[in-house]
Structures are given as structure tokens and as C-alpha cells.
């Protein structure tokens, strides 16, 4: 058994294989081997399903074999795994929430850590791996936003388990991620225009109008600012206005107040007091008599001791 037969058998048994599988990698780079795989699958009414934006490959029915295999009822339900209508609606919602943002990041060559940054040469970068740019959906957010339309919690949980079993999604605790077949079996070229131009047309139109209005407002603000700046730069400077002279207040000389010198009330009697202070008081009568007696005695003694005239 050659490699082409082994690859087809493994695809039919496992339903999908990763792109880094040894036989898948060889078939993708070996044109002769890939042609053999496609030819043998076509003989069985199958075709090789591959996308450069997906991390897995699978097989599906050829369009010519769908009527004979699925019949009219199968074509109307658009599936051969008996998904109920609410499960199909849930599958489309999950595809829109996961695949559309992932494809946008891949076509713009934008890895998830670089979201929001502009690259000068985005086309020169390699295509990001799907597992690195594929977003995850919170189960609580999904239940809150679409639970009422998709059968509430019990029905939603059952459909999520069904989609997980068929390989469309993966679940890790409260996170819902892309499964191996979500971007392989659902045709992006057919489904994306129906969602973007149909179900989301009104929402995208409102967002576009809002964005254009914001850009127009920013542009008008920038234009007004530039016009005002240019006008201010070209305008002649206004002459300086001198302030009107204020009336001068009369200068009042400041006279220093000298405290008055206190004048004594007894100024008039000061000279008399001074004379009394330097003049001896009049002697008493007894003292005067004693002094006169002493003067007389002194005169007698002086006369007794002086010589008489004519004596030598």
C-alpha cells in the first residue's frame, strides 16, 4: 500500500489530521502524491479539504455526489450529521465569532500580541498559525448574549457537546475555542458574505457611519486648529496700548510728631528754691548773741596784744 492510500485511509478513520502530520506534509509539498490522493478520493465521491488558514485537513463529499448521498432532505438541512436547527444556528454564531476575527488577523499578518500595532510591511511576514490568532469565546458571555435565542442553558449545553463531539469546537473549562473542522468544512467564501452583507450588514453599517463621523469631526477640528494657527501667525501684531496715566495724589509731608517735653509745674519757684538752697538760714537769737560776744572777746585780745603807738 502506497503513501496515497495510507493517507486516505487515515483521513477516513480519523476524520481529520493536523497539517504537521508526516504524510500530510509530504502530500502538501509533493505535487505527484497530492494528485494521486485527489484522484483516488474523486473516484469515491470525496474531495480533499484543505485551507492555508486552518491547522487541519479533512475529506468531504463532492458537490456532484451530494444529491445521491444526502438526498433532498439532506440538502435542505445542509448537513449529514443530523444537527438540529438550533445547533446549526449555534454553529454559525460560533463560526462568526471565532473564524471572522481569526481570518482578519491572518490576512493582515497580525499576531495576537501585536493587535493594535501597525506594520510597515505586513505582506512580508509569514502567515500566523491559526492556534496563535484564533480567539476564544467565554461560555458565560455566549449564554448571556445568545442563550435566549438558542434554547437557554440546557439546550445550549447539549448543542455545545454535540459540536465538540463532531470536531467543530474545543472546550477548556469556561472557554470555547476553534475545533479542527470549524475552518475546514465551512466554506468561508460562501458563508462570510452572507454574514457580513446580511445578518451583520446593519451593525457594520452603523459602525462604519459612526467611524466616518468621528473621522470627519477629527478632520474638521484639525482644520480649524490649523486655520487659527495660520491666522495667528500671519496677523500683524497689535500695537501695544500704553496704560492711561493715573492722577498723582498730592504729596503730604510727613511731620514727625515730637513728644512734648513735660514742663514742671514749679518752674516759677525754681530760682527761689535754688537761692534758698544755697543761702544759709538766719541764725537763731542765742547764737547771734554768743557770736557777738565771741567777736568782742577776740577784738579785746587783739587790742591787748598789739603795741601802742611809739613802741617798737
Residues with Cβ < 8 Å from 200, sequence gap 6 or more? 96
> Is the same domain home to 57 and 99?
no
Q: CA of 185: how far to CAs of 105, 118, 163, 191, in Å?
A: 20, 32, 13, 11
> Is the same domain home to 120 and 172?
yes
Beta strands in 96-166 (DSSP E): 137-138
Cα–Cα distance between 228 and 250 in angstroms, integer? 49
Cα–Cα distance between 64 and 46 in angstroms, integer? 10
Band the pLDDT of 255: cuts 50, 70, 90: very low
Cα–Cα distance between 67 and 81 in angstroms, integer? 16
Listed ranges 103-107, 139-143, 191-195, 196-200; the one with the highest mean pLDDT: 139-143
In contact, 75 and 67? CB cutoff 8 Å: yes
CA end-to-end span of the chain, whole Å? Answer: 200
> Is the same domain home to 90 and 153?
yes
**Which of 178, 204, 221 marks a domain boundary?**
221
> Is the same domain home to 141 and 165?
yes
Point out the least confidently predicted range of 167-176, 210-219, 262-271: 262-271
Point out the least confidently predicted range of 69-73, 164-168, 180-184: 69-73
Whether 161 shows a pLDDT value over 50: the answer reads yes
Length of the chain, please? 312
> Is the same domain home to 21 and 56?
yes
Point out the least confidently predicted range of 11-25, 88-102, 103-117: 103-117
> Is the same domain home to 208 and 174?
no
| Buried/exposed code over 138-173 (b: 16+ C-beta within 10 A; e: otherwise) | ebeebbeebeeebbeeeebeebbebbeebbbbbbee
Q: Does 179 fall in a domain?
A: yes
In contact, 66 and 75? CB cutoff 8 Å: yes
Q: What cell numbers appear for 267 in the block?
A: 518752674
Q: Which of 154, 185, 180 is nearest to 167 (CA)?
A: 180
> Is the same domain home to 88 and 74?
no
pLDDT tens-digit readout, 184-212: 988 888 888 888 777 666 665 676 777 78
Instruction: Give the whole-number percent of the chain exceeding pLDDT 90.
Output: 29
Residues with Cβ < 8 Å from 28, sequence gap 6 or more? 19, 34, 50
Residues with Cβ < 8 Å from 58, sequence gap 6 or more? 11, 15, 16, 17, 49, 180, 181, 184, 185
> Is the same domain home to 92 and 180?
yes
pLDDT tens-digit readout, 25-57: 999 999 999 999 999 999 999 999 998 889 999
| DSSP state letters, 24-68 | HHHHHH-HHHHHHHHHHHHHTTEEEE--TTSSEEEEEE-HHHHHH
Domain count along the chain: 3
Domain carrying residue 96: 81-186
> Is the same domain home to 111 and 51?
no
Whether 252 shows a pLDDT value over 70: the answer reads no
> Is the same domain home to 89 and 148?
yes
Whether 176 shows a pLDDT value over 80: the answer reads yes
> Is the same domain home to 58 and 19?
yes
**Which of 63, 80, 97 marks a domain boundary?**
80
In the chain, the largest separation of any two C-alpha atoms, in whole Å, equals 207
Record the pTM.
0.60
Whether 168 shows a pLDDT value over 80: the answer reads yes
Three-state DSSP class for residue 172: strand
Amino acid at each position: 500500500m502506497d503513501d496515497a492510500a495510507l493517507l486516505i485511509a487515515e483521513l477516513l478513520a480519523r476524520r481529520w489530521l493536523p497539517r504537521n502530520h508526516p504524510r500530510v506534509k509530504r502530500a502538501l509539498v509533493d505535487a505527484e502524491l497530492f494528485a494521486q490522493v485527489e484522484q483516488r478520493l474523486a473516484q469515491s465521491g470525496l474531495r480533499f479539504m484543505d485551507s492555508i488558514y486552518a491547522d487541519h485537513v479533512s475529506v468531504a463529499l463532492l458537490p456532484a455526489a451530494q444529491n445521491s448521498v444526502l438526498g433532498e432532505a439532506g440538502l435542505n438541512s445542509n448537513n449529514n450529521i443530523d444537527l438540529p436547527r438550533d445547533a446549526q444556528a449555534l454553529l454559525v454564531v460560533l463560526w462568526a465569532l471565532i473564524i471572522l476575527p481569526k481570518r482578519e488577523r491572518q490576512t493582515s499578518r497580525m499576531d495576537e500580541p501585536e493587535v493594535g500595532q501597525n506594520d510597515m510591511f505586513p505582506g512580508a511576514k509569514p502567515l500566523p498559525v491559526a492556534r496563535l490568532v484564533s480567539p476564544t469565546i467565554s461560555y458565560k458571555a455566549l449564554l448571556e448574549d445568545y442563550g435566549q435565542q438558542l434554547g437557554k442553558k440546557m439546550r445550549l449545553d447539549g448543542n455545545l457537546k454535540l459540536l465538540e463531539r463532531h470536531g467543530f469546537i474545543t472546550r477548556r473549562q469556561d472557554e470555547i475555542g476553534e475545533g479542527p473542522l470549524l475552518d475546514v468544512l465551512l466554506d468561508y467564501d460562501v458563508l462570510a458574505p452572507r454574514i457580513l452583507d446580511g445578518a451583520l450588514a446593519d451593525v457594520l453599517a452603523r459602525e462604519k457611519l459612526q467611524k466616518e463621523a468621528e473621522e470627519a469631526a477629527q478632520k474638521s477640528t484639525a482644520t480649524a486648529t490649523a486655520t487659527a494657527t495660520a491666522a495667528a501667525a500671519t496677523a500683524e501684531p497689535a500695537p501695544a496700548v500704553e496704560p492711561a496715566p493715573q492722577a498723582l495724589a498730592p504729596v503730604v509731608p510727613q511731620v514727625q510728631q515730637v513728644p512734648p517735653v513735660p514742663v514742671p509745674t514749679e518752674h516759677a519757684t525754681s530760682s527761689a528754691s535754688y537761692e534758698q538752697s544755697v543761702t544759709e538760714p538766719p541764725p537763731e537769737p542765742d547764737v547771734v548773741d554768743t557770736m557777738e560776744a565771741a567777736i568782742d572777746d577776740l577784738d579785746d585780745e587783739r587790742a591787748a596784744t598789739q603795741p601802742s603807738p611809739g613802741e617798737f
